[in-house]
Chain A
Amino acid sequence: MKIGSSIGLPLGEPTRNAFGEALADLGATEPRLVVVDGDVGNSTRTEVFGERFPERFFNVGIAESNMVGVAAGLAASGHIAVTASFAAFLTCNAYDQIRMAVGFPHTNVKLVGSHCGISIGEDGPSQMGIEDLALMTSVPGMTVLCPADGASARVLTRLMVEREGPVYMRTGRPQAPVVYAAAPELAIGRAERRREGGDVTLIACGLMVAAALEAAAMLAAEGIEARVLDMHTIKPLDVAAIVAAARETRGIVTAEEHLLDGGLGSAVARVVAREAPCRMGFVGLDNTFAMSGKPDDLMDHFGLNAAGIAAEVRRVLGA
């Protein structure tokens, strides 16, 4: 990925890899931890856990509905059950199982959807999870996480396992630009301010955090100072950080590798409309599936990049 390169962010590990390794490390100290796989453990990286703890790793085949139900049964019997597949297949194929067996009874199941967004590239739209945030935030009581880079993915994996109740975390396929130093101090539900600025606030998640930092650098050259928030927790949202952004800057632009329907931008807009109305802009997929292509080309095509964010900022500020 070229995201982040214009401001010198080095490429780090993919968030899926960071999750997989962090999960395996947690397995050594948390005996209740079990993993249920839908035969994609080498893609989601739960295989690292499976290799170290084979007796606590269940590959139930390409059957996401059953996979979620089995995880729920394990969780209902005292385990912390992590179950992972591609974000698209996990959240779309097994949505009702997540609703019935995870959300409704509030079981201790941790859902991890890999290959989120369009940055998976060549495999194309059928493999791209572009609606997972909308689906998972629609489950009452669900916590929804979207790490920006490897270091934050490791921390959020630990926080996810430690948190009681249902959690969904999305991870990505490509190498992610490094946004954080090792082991940042993160808290679920607390946005991280990655850049100060008084003119506009960029609220991003996942890879778009690096893109937002790039956009902020572009805008600074035009005399626009952007605050950048990494909203790694989509639910519960950091309402205070959003309200502060609305009051202290002249507008908010959200950026996400997701449909505009029901994602980060929708969630932020609800807070803004209710608590502190301000001008808003949205960067994301607008009512469209993507297509096959190289990840960078796709991100550029759909405006999921620094230029796209900067253009939306100029529109919002009337600049």
Chain B
Amino acid sequence: MPTAPASTPDTQALEAMRRQLAAWSIRMCARAGSGHPSTCLSASHLLTGLFFGGFLNYDVARPHWPDRDRFVLSKGHGAPILYAALAELGAFPTADLMTLRELGSPLEGHPNARRLPWVEASTGSLGQGLSIGLGMALAARLQGRDFRSWVLMGDGELDEGQVWEAAMAAAKYRTANLTAIVDRNGYQQTGPGDQVLPLEPLADKWAACGWAVLTIDGHDWPAVLEALTQARSAGRDRPLAIIARTVKGFGVQRIVDDPGNKFHGVPLLGDAAEAAVREVLQG
């Protein structure tokens, strides 16, 4: 079934799905013994809203449908929640999710487009997804198709110069069908982003590059849905950046309360994982 844009997404249903995807992410990484669950959790509203709120025009039964919207997970280490979303959409059995990172499984540590047909771009080397999403947006224009290109980025990868090369080029070509969603969780591998490489004023940076910008609370359903609605709306003559302020490890207090971000790239294991799954499902 194509997930054609719906007029009024059911927030309760979306929240239930979001919790399910968060739980899968924790379980998958626990089973694999490695992975980045905390980055999945910070992006959970954004990805759930996009995939299940009717904003992404997509059909898992036809992964090569030329008119499909393109979704690029530029922050490739968030792969588990993308896989969980695809499985919940029926791309493959949810049982396969527990093969994450195993030899022979197409659910690799970072998305591999050659192994999994629903992955639009192989990612994992940060900062590259926006360029690819821009190429896709330009292809839509050349081919006279009205699909949109969505790129989910981490804030840490905005350190990469290529992001800003792509931002300027997208503004030049006025790709209004391109949306960058920045998961602004504030932490990167070795600590708070504002200590690693300050990005603020981040909205000004995107605006200065020629983009329309929305800054939202990335864990507030009405705000997320409104931003995604605006992304789809006609009449804008330039690409849109949605800067979503988020919390790394959202929903798992043990990760949220850790000021040192020591859970980046570290799964919760055993009892801790089970407790975290209960927490995201019921908390």
Known A74-B135, A76-B121; contact A100-B128, beta-carbon cutoff 8 A: yes
A56 is contacted by which of B130, B142, B149, B169 (Cβ under 8 Å)?
B142
List residues 82-130 of chain A with CB under 8 A from any CB of chain B. Answer: 96-97, 99-101, 104-106
**Majority SS of interface residues in chain B?**
helix
Whether B131 pairs with A66 at a CB distance below 8 angstroms is yes
A81 to chain B, nearest CB (A): 7
Which of B52-60, B96-104, B159-167 lies on the face that meets chain A? B159-167
Q: How far is the CA of A90 from the CA of B66 in the complex (A)?
A: 30
A74 close to B121 (CB less than 8 A): no
A70 at the interface (CB under 8 A from B): yes
Picked from A56, A65, A77, A96, the residue with its CB within 8 Å of the CB of B135 is: A77
Q: How many residues of B contact A (CB 8 A)?
A: 34
| B140 contacts chain A at the CB level, 8 A cutoff | yes
**B122 near A100: Cβ-Cβ < 8 Å:** yes
Tell whether, in the assembled complex, residue A97 and residue B122 are in contact, meaning their CB atoms are under 8 Å apart.
no
Q: By the criterion CB–CB under 8 Å, are A34 and B142 in contact? A: yes
Question: Are A72 and B143 in touch, CB under 8 angstroms?
Answer: no
Interface of chain A, main secondary structure: helix
Query: For the complex, is B123 an interface residue (Cβ under 8 Å from A)?
Result: yes
A277 at the interface (CB under 8 A from B): no
B66, B124, B128 — most chain A CB neighbours (10 Å)? B128
Residues on B with beta carbons closer than 8 Å to the beta carbon of A55: 142
Chain A residues lying within 8 Å of B255, measured Cβ to Cβ, are none
- B residues 107-156 near A (Cβ < 8 Å) are 112-114, 120-125, 128, 130-140, 142-143, 149
Is residue A69 within 8 Å, beta carbon to beta carbon, of the partner chain? yes
Q: Shortest CB–CB separation between residue B146 and chain A, in angstroms?
A: 13
Q: List 23 A-B contacts (CB under 8 A).
A: A34-B142, A36-B135, A66-B134, A66-B165, A66-B166, A70-B132, A70-B138, A70-B166, A70-B169, A73-B134, A73-B135, A73-B139, A73-B149, A74-B136, A79-B142, A81-B135, A96-B125, A96-B128, A97-B128, A97-B162, A101-B131, A104-B122, A105-B114
- A residues touching B (Cβ–Cβ < 8 Å)? 34, 36, 55-56, 58, 60-61, 63, 65-79, 81, 96-97, 99-101, 104-106
- A-B contact sample (4 more), CB < 8 A, given A63-B165, A69-B162, A101-B132: A65-B128, A66-B166, A70-B138, A100-B123
